[in-house]
Amino acid sequence: MNLKSMLICSAAALATASFLSTDAQAQEQTEQSAAQQNSSASDGRDIIVTARRRDESIVNVPVSVTVASGEQLRSANITNMAEIGRIAPAVRTYPVQGRSTTTSFVIRGQVETSGLPTTDPAVGIYFADAVQTRPQGSGKLFYDLASIQVVSGPQGTLFGRNHTGGAVLIQPELPRLGEVGGYVQGIYGNYDRREVQGALNVPLGEKIALRLAGNLTRRDGWLRNLHTGNLLGTDHTDSFRASLLLEPSDAFRNVTIVDGYKGHGQDGGLAIIAANPGIDTAQNPYAARLFEYNQQLLNPRRVSQFTDRPTKSSNYGVTNTSTIDLDGTTVKNIFSYREVKSDDTADSGMPSNLLISGVVTSARQFTDELQVSGKTFDDKLDYIAGAYFFWEDALSTTYNSVFASPFLINPRSRAKNESKSLFAQSDYHVTDQFSLTAGARYTIDNRWVQQFSQSQTGAVALNQIASKTFRKPTWTLSVNYKPNPDTLFYVTNRRGYRSGGFNGGATSVATFTEVKPEIVTDYEIGFKAQGRLGDVRYRTSMSAFHSDYEDVQRNVLAVVNGLSARTLFNAAKARINGAQAELFVSPARAIELNGFVSYTDAKYKEFNDLTQPGVIPPYALVPKWSYRISGRVILPAPENVGEVSLQADYVYTSSAIRQDRIPFPGEVIPGYGLLSGRVTFDRIGGSNFRLAVFGTNLTNKTYYTVVQAFYNLAPFGGTSGGLLGEPRTYGVELGYRF
């Protein structure tokens, strides 16, 4: 769809919205009120979260959780999964293997970098309460959302899969009975960004409602590949969502969500940030790598690489949630089915054909979770218990070409994964101020893997089948004290685990290793409060934690039979200490200030890597510091004119080591800070129109989201490359709510 067609669609949607607005004015305030209930501290209301699988005030939850409403995501210019670290402490995202369509989360020092189906991620992504195990294509879920919640620490009790780092909960807006409403917005920005987004809620009778939502994005590239002459960093995505609500009685509610995404583009470029003079051959001369390095010093946003790093992905799913109220006992069932596919290409970052790598991934998953919850013992005991089932069939194939040789499979992983568990958790209120939390889960994980690889000559180097069953109990214990309804002190102890697996990067029998499950035992002390000091509204959350980490699963990149290969093994024991704090202050209705700070100190106590015997390396991919400073000011204006607000955000994250070894030159990801801003003119002239001007990375900072550790990989390596982050982007947004 071209720009002209997109603008015509926007105009048609705006015209439809204007026609419907006559009947919709009455419920606009109702919609806004409902949205405020899900928002964070930018209003005076309580925040309702689902971090423990039920609706609770955030100040009652003895868990570190950050929440942002859909409106707050828009105000912070957050448009995809990789940007969540800009609003949540102790969170950093990385493109897995340098591929921007596949995002890996790091929370509280828990890292997973392979993106392969033979192991599990450390952080779970949940859409409408159902897990999406493989993150390919999940980045464009950020439209028509009720909230995003980031839950920190081991999730070994209430959430479907066991996760050692945390969970990201994406809650879409759901249909509402008896209402016609929605919104439409269009964006135009630099690099010819064109985006149309909208949603429509319509009743289909007294007991049925339908909500349709979608997003179309087109953007040209922001990075020139001098070798091919093409632009990199393009974005061409289509997303849709259809939600149906059935509520035939007060005792029964059913929501079905069908969602889809499809996109393609040219991935960001790999800028050379160091060249190794020790690798110098006729096919890979040091002088050529040094020349490219010097060229990028002159202009870092121009690269010269052999391929344009084409990428495409798709993600389709259906989720059904049924809730039955049986006289105070709630029975809920969450079913989901999802298919994801991706096809990505990367290279060494050089104009010569040194190394080209393509990864094709496909996965199907099915999940079902049954929950029973309620209160008993004169409402002193809140409980939830249930059973969970997960099934996945996934295939990941890597095609490598070295020095223009024919593409060989190196490697291919087929995995069938199954997880079954029983869980229960309860809160017992000893008094109105003092309560105890106890939860437990027992999980059985079955993993079947077929691993195949070809040697450099095309001969079969590996063709193995393996299977393994892993069993682990996990738990949560917490002591909670509330001196008043708006203050909470808590101490928790949690055990989380990540299933064992196999090395999906193996290219030989020697590297096809099995790994045991990871175990994380976490201790956390926290404080939450909200209220007023005179006319000043505030909300704060603080916590400190210590984690004992055993049988740490680690990938280390090495050269096997002349090709790069990933080794996977239980490398280490580690301890992770950290603290984080969030604060919101509103000294007046027109002024809002908020921010966070986090500190993470992760160190290995033992490390067993035969490629570097006796060495205890730095802990990879975990920055020590991150912080955010944000402010919003509403300018004085008559009510019939509208509301004009200004918002600015500055987010900083410190440096991190790329890989678990003493870093070679260029293998440290530098720290960076990004400034963004937004000016919004809402309710223009008393109407439902909104106009905004926005920008991200306003200082045009050159930074790297991750670096590729090829510095010492002979014979085709010899460089360290940084995957460039996006430059200054800006645009104008026009929206209408009806």
What pLDDT is stored for residue 559 in this prediction?
A: 60
Average pLDDT over residues 215-229: 95
Average pLDDT over residues 342-371: 94
What pLDDT is stored for residue 4 in this prediction?
A: 37
What pLDDT is stored for residue 115 in this prediction?
A: 76
Q: Check: CB of residue 476 under 8 Å from CB of residue 62.
A: no
With H, G, I as helix, E, B as strand and everything else as coil, classify residue 144.
coil
pLDDT of 680 above 80: yes
- The rounded distance, in Å, linking the Cα atoms of 13 and 216 is 14
Which position has the higher pLDDT, 317 or 142? 317
Residue type, 693: V
R_g of the chain, CA atoms, integer Å: 26
- The rounded distance, in Å, linking the Cα atoms of 687 and 582 is 35
Confidence of residue 34 (pLDDT cuts 50, 70, 90): very low
Whole-number mean pLDDT of the chain? Answer: 90
With H, G, I as helix, E, B as strand and everything else as coil, classify residue 156.
coil
- The rounded distance, in Å, linking the Cα atoms of 61 and 478 is 10
- The rounded distance, in Å, linking the Cα atoms of 652 and 185 is 30
- The rounded distance, in Å, linking the Cα atoms of 83 and 68 is 13
Residue type, 164: T
- The rounded distance, in Å, linking the Cα atoms of 592 and 559 is 53
Q: What is the pLDDT of residues 508-555, one digit of tens each?
A: 898 899 999 999 999 999 999 999 999 999 999 999 999 999 999 998
- The rounded distance, in Å, linking the Cα atoms of 203 and 184 is 18
Residue type, 122: A
Q: What is the pLDDT of residues 561-605, one digit of tens each?
A: 555 667 889 988 999 999 999 999 999 999 999 999 999 999 999
Residue type, 594: N
Provide, rounded to the nearest whole percent, the portion of the chain with pLDDT above 90. 77
- Residue 153 is classified by DSSP as S
What pLDDT is stored for residue 711 in this prediction?
A: 92
- The rounded distance, in Å, linking the Cα atoms of 584 and 657 is 32
What pLDDT is stored for residue 429 in this prediction?
A: 97
Provide, rounded to the nearest whole percent, the portion of the chain with pLDDT above 70. 91
Average pLDDT over residues 129-135: 89
Confidence of residue 16 (pLDDT cuts 50, 70, 90): very low
Q: Check: CB of residue 149 under 8 Å from CB of residue 128.
A: no
- The rounded distance, in Å, linking the Cα atoms of 264 and 733 is 24
What pLDDT is stored for residue 97 in this prediction?
A: 58
pLDDT of 22 above 60: no
Which position has the higher pLDDT, 160 or 89? 89
Least confident stretch, 292-306, 440-454, 684-698: 292-306
Average pLDDT over residues 553-559: 77
What pLDDT is stored for residue 561 in this prediction?
A: 58
With H, G, I as helix, E, B as strand and everything else as coil, classify residue 27.
helix
Q: Residue 8, Cβ neighbours under 10 Å: how many?
A: 12
Average pLDDT over residues 164-193: 96
Angstrom distances, CA of residue 38 to CA of 44, 57, 595: 12, 10, 19
Average pLDDT over residues 301-312: 92
Please give the helix or strand (H or E) that residue 643 lies within, else none. strand 643-653
Q: Are strands 434-454 and 408-429 parallel, antiparallel or unpaired?
A: antiparallel
pLDDT of 104 above 90: no
Average pLDDT over residues 686-701: 97
What pLDDT is stored for residue 43 in this prediction?
A: 45
Average pLDDT over residues 238-250: 97
Q: How would DSSP label each residue in 181-247?
A: EEEEEEEEETTTEEEEEEEEEEESSSSEEEEEEEEEEEE--SEEETTT--EES-EEEEEEEEEEEEE
With H, G, I as helix, E, B as strand and everything else as coil, classify residue 121.
coil
The phi, psi pair for 714, rounded to 5°, reads -90, 150
Which position has the higher pLDDT, 583 or 102? 583
pLDDT of 42 above 70: no
Taking Cα atoms as reference points, which of 381, 367, 285 lies closest to residue 333?
Answer: 367
Q: Check: CB of residue 400 under 8 Å from CB of residue 410.
A: yes
Q: How would DSSP label each residue in 47-115?
A: PEE-TTSS-EEGGG--S-EEEEEHHHHHHTT--SGGGGGGTSTTEEEEEGGG-TTSEEEEETTB-----
- Residue 495 is classified by DSSP as E
Confidence of residue 242 (pLDDT cuts 50, 70, 90): very high
User: For residue 494, is it left (φ>0), alpha (ψ between -120 and 50) or beta?
Assistant: beta
- Residue 28 is classified by DSSP as H
Which position has the higher pLDDT, 112 or 704? 704
Could you tell me the sign of the dihedral formed by the alpha carbons of 60, 64, 69, 75, in that order? positive
Average pLDDT over residues 238-242: 96
- The rounded distance, in Å, linking the Cα atoms of 341 and 9 is 29
pLDDT of 91 above 70: yes
What pLDDT is stored for residue 245 in this prediction?
A: 98
For 674-729, give the secondary structure using H, E and C: EEEEEEEEECHHHCCEEEEEEEECCCCCCCEEEEEEECCCCCCCCEEEEEECCCCE
Q: Check: CB of residue 30 under 8 Å from CB of residue 41.
A: no
For 627-642, give the secondary structure using H, E and C: EEEEEEEEECCCCCCC
What pLDDT is stored for residue 390 in this prediction?
A: 97
CA atoms within 13 A on the CB side of 275: 20
Residues pairing with 492 in the sheet? 478, 524
pLDDT of 699 above 80: yes
Torsion of CA 388, 517, 53, 44, to 10 degrees: -160
- Residue 458 is classified by DSSP as S
Q: What is the pLDDT of residues 612-667, one digit of tens each?
A: 788 999 999 999 999 999 999 999 999 899 999 999 999 999 999 998 888 999 99
